Amino acid sequence: MDTITDEYMHQMLTATKNYTLVILKDGPKENTENRQKLVWEHGRRNFALRNAGLLSIVCPVSDGSEVHGISIFNADETKTREIMDEDPGVKAGIFIYDIHPTRSFPGDSLPG
């Protein structure tokens, strides 16, 4: 690994940008009979949000826990809350979410 100096760290930290992290969890109606259809439409909406440049990273979680996904939005907390409140799964009560402001480096991506 490279040696990272304090100067390098300070320089790199000036390049960070604000994003919003969303943790998607079980909602009060997680077992509704239309769940599969709603989850499918939730996924369709995520693809549209990705195409619009609003949803930078989306990671479904399938480990059987109450967490169903983690996402990073290219939007502030207010806009992200507006987006999430219109999600079909959230509106139906099968999902709830937590929002956390975060920072990261523009252009970072998952390895291919």
Residue-range domain boundaries for the chain: 39-104
Whether the Cβ atoms of residue 72 and residue 26 lie closer than 8 Å to each other: no
Tens digits of residue pLDDT in 13-34: 999 999 999 999 999 999 999 9
Tens digits of residue pLDDT in 71-102: 999 999 999 999 999 999 999 999 999 999 99
Cα separation, 13 vs 34, in Å, equals: 45
Rounded mean pLDDT, 58-80: 97
Cα separation, 83 vs 101, in Å, equals: 15
pLDDT at 20: 98
Which one-letter amino acid corresponds to residue 48? A
Mean per-residue pLDDT over the chain, rounded: 96
* pTM (predicted TM-score): 0.91
